Amino acid sequence: MSASRYTYLGPAGTFTEAALRTLPEAATRELMPMVSVPAALDAVRGGEAAAALVPIENSVEGGVTTTLDELASGEPLMIYREVLLPIAFALLVRPGTALTDVKTVTGHPVAQPQVRKWLADQLPEAVWESAASNADGARLVQEGRYDGAFAGEFAAATYGLTPLVTNIHDAQNAATRFVLVGRPARPAAPTGADKTSVVLWLAEDHPGALLELLQEYAVRGVNMMRIESRPTGEGIGRYCFSVDCEGHIADRRVADVLMGLKRVCRDVRFLGSYPRADEVTATVRPTMTDSAFTEASDWLARCLDGRG
């Protein structure tokens, strides 16, 4: 395995690359762009890279389905940290292009909902076609295949383009969440501001099946931060659930949740416990602290010994 190499969704000039470069260790790693999220993750699975940074969630469009599906299938991988990157787009064009010249535009599919209103107002006749990434869209504009690309302003220099319009976003404070993914290993020690991710498969589809999953979190006072259903490919109506919650697997309440889920689910894939990018500490009810669990365990032991 190349411990000095990180892969990311390329080509050069993507928001993913910008997010990766915010990590201190990126300065000492070889950063390798890949053509797709599956390719970036497969490089980790195959030992060509130590880790991959990929987008997993957008504040406007929701989950990045390719990443969610890749993490739920194939050889298991694990999330080690996350990065939150504010997102604003620039309309990149070849030098000399005016706004009235822009008839065709491109960008990553996740970008389109974030600039849809701007397009309707400013370029209502422009035709949109999706690209593999925002930076790939910039490359296609450079090659003359489209008139404009929605990408990060920082990508303009890489592809010899001009940022015709900057700071484009339909939603204020838009952000994308990225995760650094590696091969499974012992999770880092808890920080007090952590997140735990899993994928859950129902044992059987019956009334209240989803409620059973939710109750495992609720009765232990663990806050679910995100839940999304994804088709398993096993037929219509067959879904798995991608879930993030507050806390770390080393926290008694979270460990208890995971054990409960393992009992009621057909399968549970642990995707990791890692520091929250926003560094927000979870609010834990007094009855759900580690000390409360220890007290209860000690009481049970005394009961079993006839000392209760």
Nearest to 70, CA basis, from 43, 33, 37 = 37
Q: For 28, how many CA atoms within 13 A lie in the half-sphere containing its CB?
A: 3
Q: Are 115 and 64 in contact (CB under 8 A)?
A: no
- Please tell me the least confidently modeled range out of 20-24, 167-171, 245-249: 167-171
Helix (H) or strand (E) holding 114: helix 112-122
182, amino acid identity: G
Confidence check: pLDDT of 1 > 60: no
CA 6 centroid distance within chain: 16
Q: What per-residue confidence (pLDDT) applies to 208?
A: 86
Domains of the chain, first to last:
1-87+173-185 (3.40.190.10), 89-168 (3.40.190.10), 187-308 (3.30.70.260)
Q: What per-residue confidence (pLDDT) applies to 2?
A: 66
User: 220-254, pLDDT tens digit by residue?
Assistant: 999 999 999 999 888 887 889 999 999 999 999 99
The percentage of residues in the chain with a pLDDT greater than 70, rounded to a whole number, is: 99
